[in-house]
Every structure is written in C-alpha cells, then in structure tokens.
Amino acid sequence: MQTTSPRFKQNAAEALVDPNLQQALGMVERGFIVKRRDAAAALPEFDALRASGRAIKDHVLENLDLYLEAYEKKATEAGAKVHWAVDAADARDIILGICQAAGAKTVTKGKSMVTEEIGLNDHLSANGITPVETDLGEYIIQLRGEHPSHIIAPAIHLTRAQIADDFRRVHTHLDPARPLEEAPTLLAEARGVMRERFLAADVGITGANFLVAETGTSIIVTNEGNGDLTQILPRVHVVVASIEKLVPTLEDVAQIVRILARSATGQEMSVYTTLSTGPRRPGDPDGPEEYHVVLLDNGRSAMLGSEFQDMLRCIRCGACMNHCPVYGAIGGHAYGWVYPGPMGAVLTPALIGIDKAAHLPNASTFCGRCEAVCPMQIPLPKMMRHWREREFERHLQPGTVRAGLGLWAFLARRPALYRLATGLAARALGLFGKRKGRFAALPLAGGWTAHRDMAAPEGRTFQDLWAAGERRR
Amino acid sequence: MSGGPSARDAVLGRVRAALGVDSRDPGRRAAIADRLAAHRAGIVPARGHIPPAEQVDLYENRLKGVMATVERLPDAASVPGAVAAVLRDRNLPAAIRIGDDPRLAAMPWGAVPTLAVSRGRSFGADLAAVSHAFAAVAETGTTMLVSGPDNPTTLNFLPDLHIIVVDAADIAGDFETVIARLRARYGEGEMPRTVNFVTGPSRSADIEQTLVLGAHGPRALHVLIVG
C-alpha cells in the first residue's frame, strides 16, 4: 500500500477541520471505550489473563523458528499447502499464482489487515482478477476507493449519510427512491448484494488471528460471518498470516480469545471463532478443496531481538487507538499507512522505515492510556521513545527541533542556570499573563496557541514551590 | 515464481539470526515438544466452575445476553414440534435443511407432517437449518459445531435462521473442557476440517457503531437445549 505517512502533519491538519470525520470520531467514546471497560470489569480474571497471554506470546517469539516448523508440519499433514513469503512482493506473487491456477475471475475477501499491508487488491486487479471485500466496513471503503481507518472498524470515519450516498451511487440496479437513512436498511442492502458474490467467487482469501502449532490450524475471529462464507463457499481458500500469529496449543488460544473481543468491542466473545485445518475431508459435503497458507515475514524477523520485539505480541484488537486522544482527534487515515494509532506509530516505522514514518512516534502525548488498556501489555509509549531516539541519532528531525532539544539539554546539564532561566521565564510569563490567566498568542508558541490558549504560570516554578515546602498530596 | 524452499530458509534463517538461536539445539526442541504435548490449561475463569445444572442455567443466560433465543426441552422427541413452532412464530416456511447427524435423524420428524425436512449442505436457498452441537460453553454462551456430513458448515452460515440442538450433557463450564473433549474425539493434535464456535447471531457495528443483527450470517440463532 502507498504511504502518506511522510505528510502526517498536513494529513492531521486536514483531519481536524473535516466535519464528517469529526462527527464520526465523536462516537468512539460511547462505543468502544465504555464497552471495553464494562467487559473487563465483568471478568475478575481479566488482568491475570492479560499476563498469561503476554507470557504465551513472549514464549512463542523466543522460539518462533521451532513453532513455525511445528505448525508447518501439522498443517501439511492435514493437507494444507504452506507457502513462505519474505516480503510483500513474494506474498502477492504467491497469491496471484494460486488464483491464476484456479482460473479465478472473482475473489472474495474476509477482513484482513495483512492483505492491506501487502497491497493485494491492487495487484489482483492489475492482473484481471476482481477482489471483493465482504466485511461491511471494508465493502464500504472499497466502494469509495479508500483504505481502512481503523483495524477493526474500517469505516469508522464515515457517517450514515455518506454511506447512503455511496450505496445509491453504486447499487444502481435498486430503486433510487428507496429509503436508506438507518443502519439496518444499509446493512440489509449490503447483505443482499454480497450474497451473490459469495456464491460466485472462485477463491476466498482470509487473514488469521492465530495459527496453532499443535494442530496446524488457522483461526479467524469475526462478527458478521463474512469470513466464514468467504472460506467455505469457493473451491480454494487462501489464508494470509504474518509469522507472529503462531500460538502453541488450543489452550493458549483459549487464554487469548478471552481478552481479544473484550478489549476490541467489549464482547465476551466475537460471534464466530472459526478453526480451519486443511481442506475438505473425504465425505465432507462442503468446504474448500484446496487450502493454502501464506506465511509472511515482511519485516517481522528484523523486530525480533530488538527493542521492538514486544510489538510482535500485538493481537490487533484496536484498544490502543480507541483510547488514544491523538487518534480520537484525527482518525486513522492521517497516519498514512495500514496501521494507525499507537500500535501503528510503533509498527509502521518498523515495516516501512523510520525515514518515511518519522512523524508517527511523535504523534503521542505519552498519556499512557494505550499501554494501560493493551491486552498484551505492550509498552507502546516506551517503544515510541525508542523510535524518537533513533530519529535523533539519524538526524531525521528538523533543525528547529534539534536546536530546541540542544538548548534544553544545555540548560538541563547546568542546574543553576536551568533554575535561573526557568525562574525568569515563569516570573515574566506570570507577570504578563496575570490579568487573564492565559495567553491567546505567544511568541515561539504559535503552534500551540493557534488551537487553544496557553495557561499562564503563577510566577514561580515547580522547583521553587517544592523548595518552599508547598507540597500537597 | 517467488516463495519456495529458498523463501522458507530465508525466513527461518532471519528468525534464528535475530534471536541468536540454534535450530539444532536439542534442549530447545525438547522443551517445545513437551509444551505442545502437555497443552496445559492457563487461567480458567471461576465463572464456569459450578455444578452441571448451574452450567446449563449460565449457558442459557449468556445466550440471551448475546441476543440468541433459547428454549429447554425435556427430550429429543420434542425437537421436531419445537422446530415447527419456531418457524411458525417467525412466519417462516415450514421447511428445514439438516445434515446426516444420527441424533437428528433419530428424532420423530414424521410426527410433524407439515414440516418439510431436506438433507445436505446449503447452497444458499434455505431459510432455516437445524444443526446438532458438538458441545457448548456456559462461560460465554458459546456453541461448538464441527464440520462433516453430519453437520455441514454451510448450514451454520447461509440460512436466515439457524437452530442448534444442544444436549444438556454436552454443556461445559469453560473452553478448556470442550477442547479436551475435541481432543478425546479426534485424537491428540488432530482436528476436524472446521470447528465453529458460535456466540449469538451474525452482527455488524460497522455503520456508526450501531449494532445491527443479521450481517452476512444468520439473522437469528435459536438454541434448543435437550434434557
């Protein structure tokens, strides 16, 4: 997928003044945040399960070579054809080859972020094969020629009215005067349109939430049932999974699914958790005759053994972005690539390069909510700091930022001078800001005061107050 | 074409180099083999650790929580009449699709002569299907179905109404128990082609986070608990 991450700042500025986007983002809080909180509170073992899930993933990552081999062996014994892809181009070619060998004209797709990552749809289209996204949100954004703005709610940036306009534009075989105001009407229309495509597809492509080494099984977790119709109706089922999706056993899956949906949508379980092992068996009346699994590295192995290894525990629940004030203000598209929000701010630089994604680790207030809600306890703010350090080392920041940091470091290493400078500044700002208690404009701080006032200090620094014994608990 | 043995070696080689590990290390191999063979349970929520009768109540309760409908029947002989009543109540035609499950086949369908029972997978035209569950999980109101000629997977997803028959004795407190039963039935490390854990009817909240039932799978899920 093409990235617009390098123009993150312009993306964000445009997002802040997009009325449709701001209306849509306003619904995140009463949705995901409240539901996740209630679901976590209703399960006394929730935090113990988080620690358990983390330990499982850490163990797998430390032994990933052996688990990949074990998985491949079991899957192959069950009749799967396992393919290995070093990078996105490898994966695209493998999948195209499977589709061509199947004589495929149309391909249905379950929701899969990894196929976004490898730019699969464009590659299939360019080679004369029509990819059909079947998840409702993915279908809507495919109609619009867009990409997902959220990893589990791809069309969260859109309002009902926008979706209704798209359906009228594209579903021209239906009565133009039909009512399309409410979500159930829109869903019913998409269901009807999609049914024929499910039944007509030659190949079905899904992602995977887990690959189970014990049994050679791939697992998808969905609510709509589209992933299942995608994989049981066509003659060929292709699973695309990145290598960190491995878990050892079914018991390990049980640990992680207990926190996955609760963290994502606040459900105790998603509606469909589906385990697939090999192709259709003798005597089976349905299911695919061919079952392929494409194991994709595409930059993951380089994260192993680095300060970014913990990121590979991510189970793609989306809790970090749901709770992120920056994501909540600008939405997912501003991040400019497949993975938005805090997990994207850490993962994107690892996968496309920090030179292209340098703004993303800086798009954080370090409030820490992402780490606090992460079911896999991934230290997202810490890893964003690691990226900032790498940016500094590689001189990727603008000169003004480096100069400012240099000035701050100069003062911070000289405590007497630091106290003098901050004391003067606090007194001066306190004096000038006394009347209103805030500044509507301030030299060198236009980036701040353009959007909100700067609070005026009261005249003394924190260190002064601390020294004077003014401590409040 | 890309991929192939060289890609496999490249990926595994990169993983080993990054981790600084040796694939021939017998200690590592043995540790992983042991962990896979032991498949120990982790944290199991206390919620399901209750007597069997209460597990049935919990399952019923959770089913309602995920917007399924549920009824309890005294015996398998009551199933055909209950199925006919559900179809009638929902203004659906008196017709169902079922697989070859012997437990379903043994039910007295002839006692409800108005009900048309056809056998086999679905091709998309069936409005209602009846499946027999392999097991159920009280903890979350989840019903477990396995693929095969007995209960074709297409019946779980294509019809508008999915009716699942669950033996009360097959209801367990937690996932670990039903995983153990699956292993006991199919063997260590072996699986049926598809296992479906179903928790309520199909739904989507992709439009303005408004929850709507009946996305691409069944619009309604009705569970008949027998015994």
Sort out which chain A residues have CB atoms less than 8 A from B197's CB and list them: 269, 272-275
Q: Distance from A447 to chain B by nearest Cα, in Å?
A: 32
Cα angle for residues A64, A69, A71 (degrees, 5° grid)? 90
CA distances from A390 to A326, A365, A381 (A): 22, 18, 14
Average pLDDT over residues A241-268: 98
Residue at token pair 């810490």: A382
Chain A residue nearest residue B179, CA to CA: A250
pLDDT at residue B4 tops 70: no
Cβ contact B215–A223 (<8 Å) = yes
What is the ipTM for the molecules in this complex? 0.97
Q: 3-class SS at B132?
A: strand
39-98 in chain B: CB under 8 A from chain A:
39-43, 45-47, 62, 65-66
Phi/psi at A146 (nearest 5 deg)?
-110, 180
Q: Does the pLDDT at position B24 exceed 80?
A: yes
Query: What's the pLDDT at B1?
Result: 44
Residue A472 binned pLDDT confidence (cut-offs 50, 70, 90) = low
User: Which residues face A308 on adjacent strands?
Assistant: none
What's the mean pLDDT in B58-75? 98
Which positions ≥6 away from A236 have C-beta within 8 Å? A98, A99, A102, A104, A202, A203, A204, A288, A289, A290, A291, A292
Interchain proximity A214–B175, CB inside 8 Å: no
Mean pLDDT, chain A, integer: 94
Q: Does B181 touch chain A (CB under 8 A)?
A: no
Question: A226 φ, ψ to 5°?
Answer: -70, -35
Please give the average per-residue pLDDT across A120-146, as a whole number.
Answer: 96
Q: Answer whether A433's CB lies under 8 Å from A465's CB.
A: no
Those residues whose C-beta lies under 8 Å from the C-beta of residue B117, and which sit 6 or more positions away, are: B95, B96, B98, B109
Q: B221, B164 in Cβ contact below 8 A?
A: yes
The answer to whether A419 and A443 are in contact (CB under 8 A) is no
Q: Give me the pLDDT at residue A446, please.
A: 82
Burial of B181 from C-beta contacts in 10 A (0-12 / 13-18 / 19+) = middle
* Other residues' Cβ atoms within 10 Å of the Cβ of residue A14: 14
pLDDT digits (tens, 9 = 90+) for B157-172: 999 999 999 999 999 9
Rounded to the nearest angstrom, the minimum Cα separation between A252 and chain B is 7
Task: Give the pLDDT mean for A27-45.
Answer: 91
Q: Best interface-test mutation with A: which of B194, B195, B210, B213 has the largest number of A CBs within 10 A?
A: B194
Q: How far apart are CA A1 and CA A8, in angstroms?
A: 16
Please compute the mean of the pLDDT values over residues A17-21 and round it to a whole number.
Answer: 93
Report the range of poorest mean pLDDT among A206-220, A459-473, B123-137, B183-197.
A459-473
Euclidean distance between CA atoms A109 and A201, whole angstroms: 10
* pLDDT score of A239 more than 90: yes
Please give the DSSP secondary-structure letter assigned to residue A245. Answer: G
Is the pLDDT at A325 greater than 60, yes or no? yes
Does the pLDDT at position B2 exceed 70? no
* Backbone conformation region of residue A399, classed left if phi is above 0, alpha if psi is from -120 to 50, else beta: alpha
Helix axes A183-200, A136-144, angle to 10 degrees: 90
Q: What is the distance between the alpha carbons of residues B107 and B103, in angstroms, rounded to a whole number?
A: 7
B/e letters for A32-48, b = 16+ CB within 10 Å, e = fewer, are bbebbeebbeebebbee
Q: What is the Cα–Cα distance from A320 to A342, expressed in whole angstroms?
A: 6
Residue A28 clears pLDDT 80, i.e. is over it: no
Angstroms from B70 CA to nearest CA on chain A: 16
Name the pLDDT band for A443 (thresholds 50, 70, 90): confident
Cβ within 8 Å, pair A154-B11: no
Please name every residue paired with B137 in a beta bridge, in sequence order, or none if there are none. Answer: B142, B172
Instruction: Work out the percent of chain B whose per-residue pLDDT is above 90.
Output: 95
pLDDT > 70? residue A387: yes
Contacts of A237 in chain B (CB under 8 A): none
Contacts of B191 in chain A (CB under 8 A): 78, 215-217, 275, 277
Residue A303 backbone class (left: φ over 0; alpha: ψ -120 to 50; beta: rest):
alpha
The pLDDT of A331-344, averaged and rounded, is 96
**Does B152 contact chain A (CB < 8 Å)?**
yes
Residue A223 burial (CB < 10 Å; 0-12/13-18/19+)? Answer: buried
For all residues of chain B together, what is the average pLDDT? 96
Average pLDDT over residues A208-224: 98
Model pLDDT, residue A405: 86
How confident is the model at residue A437, as a pLDDT?
85
pLDDT on residue B3: 62
Q: Do B208 and A159 touch (CB under 8 A)?
A: yes
Burial A319-329 (b: 16+ CB within 10 A, else e): bbbbbbebbbe
Tell me which chain B residues have a C-beta less than 8 angstroms from the C-beta of A80: none
Looking at chain A, which residue has its C-alpha nearest residue B37?
A214
Q: Per-residue pLDDT tens for A419-436?
A: 999 999 889 988 888 888
Please give the DSSP secondary-structure letter assigned to residue A453: P
Q: Which residues of chain A neighbour B183 with C-beta distances below 8 Å?
A: 250
Q: How far is the C-alpha of A107 from the C-alpha of A90, rounded, in Å?
A: 19
Amino acid code (one letter) for A149: S
Render pLDDT for B86-145 as a digit per residue (tens, 0 to 9): 999 999 999 999 999 999 999 999 999 999 999 999 999 999 999 999 999 999 999 999
Q: pLDDT at position B168, please?
A: 98
> CA nearest B13 in A: which residue?
A65
The average pLDDT across B186-200 equals: 97
Strand partners, A320: none
- What six digits make up the tokens of B68? 């399924």
Mean pLDDT of B193-212: 95
